[in-house]
Amino acid sequence: MIGSDNSKPLLEVENLKVTFSTRRGLVEAVRGVSLSLQPGEMLGLVGESGSGKSVTGFAITHLLDKAGRIADGAIRFKGQDITRAGGADLRSLHGAAMSMIFQNPRAALNPIRTIGQQVADAILAHRRLSRQEAQAEALNLLKAVQIRDPERRMSAYPHELSGGMCQRVMIAIAISCSPQLLIADEPTTGLDVTTQKVVMDLLAKIAAERGMATILITHDLGLAARYCARVVVMEQGRLVEEAAPLTLFHRPQHPYTKRLVAASPTATSRIEDLVPDGDGIPLIEVTELPPPPHGTPLLLDVKNIVKRFDDGTIGVADFSMTMRGGESVGLVGESGSGKSTTSRMICRLLDPSEGEILFDGQSIGGIPARDFHRSELRKDIQIVFQDPNDSLNPRYTAFDCIAHPLYRLMNMRSGDTMRQRVEECAERVGLPRELLSRFPHQLSGGQKARVGIARAIACKPRLLVLDEPTAALDVSVQAVVLQLLNKLRREDNLAFLFVSHDLNVVRMMCDRTIVLRTGAIVEQGESRALFANPQTDYTRELVDAVPHIAPPMALQVCTV
Amino acid sequence: MGTIGATLLRAGRRFVSSLPALFGVLVFTFLLMRVLPGDPAVFFASGPNAGKEEIEVIRRQLGLDKPLPNQLVIYLTDVARGNLGRSMMTGQAVAKDLKERLPASLELTLTALLIALVSAVPLGVIAALRPGSLVDHGVRLFCSLGVCVPTFVSGLLLIYVFYYLFGLAPDPTGRIDIFASLPPQRTGFLIIDFLLAGDVEGWWAAARQLMLPAVTMALFVIAPLARITRASMLVSLGSDFVRTARSVGLSWWRIVVTYALRNAILPVITIAGIVFSTMLGANVLVEKVFSWPGVASYALDALLVSDYAPVQGFVLLMATIFVIVNLLVDVLYGIADPRATVA
């Protein structure tokens, strides 16, 4: 640490304001943020989308889009004002003094340049070495970020590596010229929980070893709580609260922080707790339904289905499960575990290679996926897709989106009945009537998710397959959507097949959970019991990897 | 090494799969020529007052009295033997005519493509680096002019300015002064043959002759190439990996050329392949304006007198070149983009 003693902050941000010029005029993304960072400290910057947390990060490193501009305030790095730094100053700052790692690691790497070359490029940007020396140094860095078989990986391209591996390469690039400040912008969003843990542990270890100060920008409170000594919360471009994680999460002061903390699912939270004031959705108490009369066929009976892909790889091997009407079952596993493939086969968007699928006693596995839309049962099995943006037709209004299945599957013609039905569905999902005439791009993420759900329940299905329905949503929106789904399920006695990588969500939403790994069932059972006391190593690993906010007891220990 | 092998394998597979298309082109042009109005026998009879018998004799000589399927079979067998028929117009075998004229067309088109690429790619890059600036608008104006002025107009304009007004360019007729001594033919490309023969003066004469028509053609295709370079460069410059490159402080040149441009060049390769094929077939106007002895003007002359064989030969040649160019683009793509070999 050259020229800075420990009392002096490494980075000081004072009243930072960032504006973006858009077609609708200037938009203030950051409205007066002040923070400081000591050398070697790890600071969590937490907020939901649109809170300005990433913009703050990009403003500090001067990597804002062309449309963005630092309108006011000061950024001081080691006492030096870098607010208006440009050209050569910036080049010497970037990489050597401060660097960044990004969300979506695969896109952050040059697709047509080998890993080794890219790491070497970063080294050569600030050090006078020969190409060979830089390559050797790059190899050392790859070893430092624990890439297996680094010699061979040197000549690999990003598309040949997994997301987690790409993020390690990105870390290697970021630390190549030993910067004193690292800004990690959602570094593990989109990675599996287990990979997330490995990558974050690595990052924390490297930062500690090199005394590198780190700002972790994330939407995940649990992640910030696990790795950061201090957390600041942002909302709409402003800092609303700053504290040690445990204090913040167990004694939040600001109303926004309170809402955010409540909305974050933890190991013990219940659906009802997520939105403290109910947010307008009254939870109806439904009396336990009487058990179905004897001899009623199972709603879903999947027998030994197998999916082999054209190139011979096996996506799902010998999967069996059953579901009763109104039951909700979770399907969890890492990416590549076959959970999506399985759910697609069950909702008949993909044909199984072997095995049988019985719905309500009728065999549906034999109907080719592309003909299933003509089946009577199509309207009984409906799907809520992962991405609320891409799964809505951009040229359809919200009304059209919800009306489409009615038109296609129920043979309803446009008219008063149709209108009534659509409005009823919209009302049930809490979508204001005046939004029905809007197109998807005019709706927020949460509203689009509601349209997707309304569309799925329009035909009054009996089984709803939900493929990561809240993965793209902010926690507070997720909380509301989960409550909504839970309410709909109770009201209609809907059965849920809930596919998710978020174990906390599955535990809250599902009666039973099935854990998948490489296409086979590892473990299954009653959700609470399964997560409280996993029987297999794999499940235990999954459960442990979820970053939790420590229970309040820890707080008391800390404060004593 | 594995990637090159894979690329070649893929290229080979592509070639095999394009053979049916070539066959289709063969049959289609054959039928098309028969459907078009005009009777070759009438054209090639001795004169306007040739008698009915004389025309009949010619028709029988040409085999035009046979039923269409028979004619097709005869034609296909001949093509399979490498015999493209005889041109009534020049009296020579079509294969020989095409072989003589193809280098002229290729020389012109390749030079034009080279000029176009060398000017379009930098223009596109400059425009993309400062979108909305004066430079960007200047490039846009230049491109628009290039596309909307037809080649025969821009060709004549260039002749007027550089030959008539300033006298910088030579007489715009043909590939070389008719009295100049030709180098021994090796490649058929005059500027290469002159170089191989060590005749600098001859090379200069040929190059000067080539300049105006090549620039005329290039002007027409700079626009699509510059536009695609600009668009793809904009995407590339806005991409995450360029941001990464900036975040570690790489030099400007490295960011723009090694990171952004190398990625942006991929769609340009595809467009360049298409542009080349189009130019080769459509440069008949330029060939006519500059009296360039190329294949396109040859085919046009033949078409005007219902001389079937050269036209069919020309179309087959174009189709083959199209296939080869696509293969080449494929191979280039495989080398330029490591992801291509995986798919």
Residue by residue, DSSP assigns A95-113 as TTTEEEE-SSHHHHS-TTS
The answer on pLDDT for B231 being more than 90 is yes
Question: Can you tell me the distance from the alpha carbon of A467 to that of A280, in angstroms, rounded to the nearest whole number?
Answer: 26
Give me the mean pLDDT over the A514-537 stretch.
91
Looking at residue B46, its pLDDT comes to 61
Write the DSSP string, A254-273.
SHHHHHHHHHS--SS--HHH
The answer on pLDDT for B343 being more than 60 is no
B248 touches chain A (CB under 8 A): yes
Q: Are A44 and A214 in contact (CB under 8 A)?
A: no
Looking at residue A276, its pLDDT comes to 63
B49 touches chain A (CB under 8 A): no
Beta carbons within 8 Å of B28's beta carbon, 6+ residues apart: none
Q: Are B206 and B194 in contact (CB under 8 A)?
A: yes
Looking at residue B3, its pLDDT comes to 64
Exposed/middle/buried for residue A8 (C-beta within 10 Å: 0-12, 13-18, 19+)? middle
Smallest CA–CA separation between B7 and chain A, in Å?
Answer: 16
CB pairs under 8 A between A and B: 80
When mean pLDDT is compared across A232-236, B177-181, B213-217, the lowest value belongs to B177-181
B235 touches chain A (CB under 8 A): no
The answer on pLDDT for A1 being more than 50 is no
Tokens representing A545 are 């990897």
Axis crossing angle, helix A131-144 with helix A163-174, rounded to the nearest 10 = 120
Chain A residues close to B338, C-beta within 8 Å: 111-112, 157, 159
Looking at residue A7, its pLDDT comes to 67
Give me the mean pLDDT over the B240-259 stretch.
92
Chain A residues close to B241, C-beta within 8 Å: 107-111
**Residue B90: what are its φ and ψ, rounded to 5°?**
-100, -15
CB-CB: which of A61, A122, A159 is closest to B339? A159
The answer on pLDDT for A278 being more than 70 is no
Chain B residues close to A63, C-beta within 8 Å: 243, 246-247
- Mean pLDDT, chain A, integer: 87
Cβ–Cβ below 8 Å for A111 and B258: no
Question: Can you tell me the distance from the alpha carbon of B329 to that of B178, in angstroms, rounded to the nearest whole number?
Answer: 37
B246 touches chain A (CB under 8 A): yes
Q: Count Cβ atoms below 10 Å from residue A90 Cβ, excluding itself.
A: 15
When mean pLDDT is compared across A22-36, A539-553, B146-160, the lowest value belongs to A539-553
B187 touches chain A (CB under 8 A): no
**Per-residue confidence band for A222, with pLDDT thresholds at 50, 70 and 90:** confident
Sign of CA dihedral B31, B33, B34, B36: positive
Q: Letter for the amino acid at B170?
A: P
Looking at residue B341, its pLDDT comes to 57
Chain B residues close to A88, C-beta within 8 Å: none
Cβ–Cβ below 8 Å for B258 and A90: no
CB-CB: which of A107, A159, A177 is closest to B241? A107
ipTM over 0.90: no
Chain A residues close to B246, C-beta within 8 Å: 63, 94
Smallest CA–CA separation between A175 and chain B, in Å?
Answer: 9
pLDDT in tens, A24-80: 888 889 999 999 999 999 999 998 888 889 999 999 999 988 888 899 999 999 988
Question: Can you tell me the distance from the alpha carbon of A362 to that of A378, in angstroms, rounded to the nearest whole number?
Answer: 13
The answer on pLDDT for A277 being more than 50 is yes
Q: Are A83 and A73 in contact (CB under 8 A)?
A: yes
Looking at residue A279, its pLDDT comes to 47
Chain B residues close to A102, C-beta within 8 Å: 240, 243-244
Give the full edge-to-edge strand order of the sheet including A68-77. A25-37, A11-22, A68-77, A80-81
pLDDT in tens, A331-385: 998 888 888 889 999 989 989 999 999 998 888 888 888 888 888 889 899 999 8
Give the full edge-to-edge strand order of the sheet including A213-218. A98-101, A181-185, A213-218, A42-46, A230-235, A238-243
Interface test with B, best of A23, A91, A112 (most B CBs within 10 A): A112
A126 touches chain B (CB under 8 A): yes
CB-CB: which of A63, A111, A159 is closest to B247? A63
Q: Are A368 and A350 in contact (CB under 8 A)?
A: no
Smallest CA–CA separation between B250 and chain A, in Å?
Answer: 5
CB-CB: which of A95, A104, A113 is closest to B240? A104
List the end-to-end C-alpha distance of chain B, in Å, as a whole number: 17
**Per-residue confidence band for A560, with pLDDT thresholds at 50, 70 and 90:** very low
Chain B residues close to A111, C-beta within 8 Å: 241, 263, 337-339
pLDDT in tens, A82-138: 888 878 888 888 988 999 999 889 899 999 999 999 999 999 999 889 999 999 999
**Per-residue confidence band for A2, with pLDDT thresholds at 50, 70 and 90:** very low
Write the DSSP string, B304-336.
HTT-HHHHHHHHHHHHHHHHHHHHHHHHHHHHH
The answer on pLDDT for A209 being more than 80 is yes
pLDDT in tens, A506-520: 988 999 999 999 889
Give me the mean pLDDT over the A435-445 stretch.
88
Q: CA of A138: how far to CAs of A124, A180, B224, in Å?
A: 10, 19, 40
pLDDT in tens, B289-325: 888 888 888 988 888 887 888 888 898 888 888 888 8
A99 touches chain B (CB under 8 A): yes
pTM here is: 0.82
A109 touches chain B (CB under 8 A): yes
A63 touches chain B (CB under 8 A): yes
Q: Are B305 and B88 in contact (CB under 8 A)?
A: yes
Chain B residues close to A173, C-beta within 8 Å: 244, 248
Q: Are B119 and B293 in contact (CB under 8 A)?
A: no
Q: Letter for the amino acid at A107?
A: A
Cβ–Cβ below 8 Å for B342 and A90: no
* Total number of residues shown for chain A: 560
Q: CA of A341: how far to CAs of A40, A141, A360, A366, in Å?
A: 44, 37, 21, 17
pLDDT in tens, A303-326: 999 998 887 888 898 899 999 888
Exposed/middle/buried for residue A287 (C-beta within 10 Å: 0-12, 13-18, 19+)? exposed
> Which 8-state DSSP code applies to residue B184?
P
